[in-house]
Amino acid sequence: MLGTTFLLALRSILRHKLRSFLTTLGIIIGVAAVVTMVTLGKATTAAVQQQIAALGTNILQVRPGQGFGRGGGGPRPPDFEPADVTAIQQQVTGVTAVAPQAQSTATAIYEGANWSTTINGTTSAYFVVQPWPLTAGRLFTPAEEGAGKAVCIIGSTVAKNLFRNVEPIGKRFRIGDISCDVIGLLSTRGQAGFGGDQDDVVIMPLKTVQRRFTGSTDVRMILVGVDQAYSTAQVTSTLTDLLRDRRHLTGGKPDDFNIFDTKQISDTLTSTTTMLTQIVAAVAGISLVVGGIGIMNIMLVSVTERTREIGIRLAIGAVASEVLMQFLVEAVVLSCLGGVIGLLIAQLVIGVLTPVMQVPWTFDPQINAFAFLISGVIGVVFGYFPARRAASLNPIDALRHE
């Protein structure tokens, strides 16, 4: 019985191809919009998480100043001292490593090629706090760090623009006023949401940068690695108390430094993008309701057109439930066909947009199955009233219908 009803529904749909297509257009647009928005939203969330992960997980970035600016327009807060780094290592529980940093910018020159880049002076603890694998070469030795040797590890952007097709390991180039030996090549990280191109960097021993570029022993930023067994909030509280004491901030004086928790920012951005995705998907889902109304309208028209047919079926022995089933199946088939076409269009749109948005594409079977299921439910909900109306027709009145 159900198979015969399904064939009758298909025959009726194919009899009016253009009308059937226009009827399902709302479902097609709704399903395509919902699947596209949710998939792209999840892809954007994944991209944000990758960018934050590139900065490092369970890492605290400590900078002088309030927020990322100076805050309040007063004098610039003092940088950190080397003794602050030692104090953090020795007195803050839950810290795995502490990497002081001093930064500058300069133009690097190699055999006629030049490239303006960022110089990051730090210690070997930097690669412990936020692991950044090398594709070639090695890290600094303790002797090179202690003596402030002119050695460096370069990012892939610097290697590509400065050395072109030349293997950089072992080469010497000029950066600022000094000559530097390349001992390592960093793996590619790509763009960061907050710091531009992460690969456009030259990493040198801290003492080298302090002596040759900044001219002081002050530390501009401190990276603090937090043990996974400890809460970053707990470590942040202890670290704040220590720095306030060392920087003589008593009473109600505000902090003249800020602590940036990468994990907290990752969680905040993830929840924000997820919420925005849900809002956009909900707005797109309105078109599914509009599509359902379109199906109900066309099914009512179909009932009116086929009133005499319904009367004949009832007169020769068909029961009301069979007539109801026929029109209900027709509405569900229409809606599901629209759902299938919408899914196909969504995958096509996603395949086009993900390279443009530079986000990873992943097929989500759950959202696709859910969207298809919703299209079927809409067919049942909005098809029931026309089907019920057809089943409740009086056979005698139906046969008189012209």
C-beta of residue 329 within 8 angstroms of C-beta of residue 380? no
Handedness of CA 22, 24, 27, 33 (dihedral sign): negative
Residue 37's domain comprises 2-51+267-400
C-beta of residue 386 within 8 angstroms of C-beta of residue 306? no
**Alpha carbons 50 and 361: distance in angstroms, whole number:** 14
Q: Could you read off the pLDDT of 210-250 as tens digits, one per residue?
A: 999 988 888 999 999 988 888 888 999 999 999 999 998 88
Residues 113 and 237 in one domain: yes
Inside any domain, residue 371? yes
What are the angstrom distances between the C-alpha of 340 and each of 24, 30, 353, 378? 11, 11, 20, 14
Overall pTM > 0.75: no
Residues 146 and 203 in one domain: yes
Residues 297 and 338 in one domain: yes
C-beta of residue 209 within 8 angstroms of C-beta of residue 217? no
**Alpha carbons 97 and 129: distance in angstroms, whole number:** 6
Across 273-376, where does the E strand assignment appear? none
Residues 154 and 226 in one domain: yes
CA proximity to 225, closest of 134, 124, 103, 126:
126
Domain end: 222, 255, 288, which one? 255
> pLDDT per position in the chain (402 positions), as tens?
566 666 766 777 777 778 778 878 888 888 888 888 888 888 887 777 776 666 666 889 899 986 544 444 557 788 899 999 999 999 999 999 999 999 999 999 998 889 999 999 999 999 988 888 899 999 999 999 999 999 999 999 999 999 988 899 999 999 988 999 999 999 988 766 545 688 899 999 999 999 999 888 889 999 999 888 888 889 999 999 999 999 988 878 888 899 988 777 777 777 777 787 778 777 777 877 878 888 887 777 777 766 777 677 777 766 777 777 777 888 888 888 888 999 999 999 998 988 888 787 778 888 889 888 888 888 888 888 877 777 777 666 656 655
Give the pLDDT confidence score for residue 69 in this predicted structure.
46
Residues 241 and 342 in one domain: no
Inside any domain, residue 174? yes
Average pLDDT score, the chain: 83
Residues 164 and 310 in one domain: no
Residues 82 and 214 in one domain: yes
Residues 151 and 300 in one domain: no
CA proximity to 258, closest of 234, 236, 235:
236
Q: Could you read off the pLDDT of 347-358 as tens digits, one per residue?
A: 999 989 888 887
Domain end: 255, 289, 311, which one? 255
**Alpha carbons 322 and 191: distance in angstroms, whole number:** 62
What is the number of domains present in the chain? 2
Residues 250 and 279 in one domain: no
Residue linked to tokens 């030049």: 114
Handedness of CA 164, 170, 173, 175 (dihedral sign): positive
Residues 394 and 348 in one domain: yes
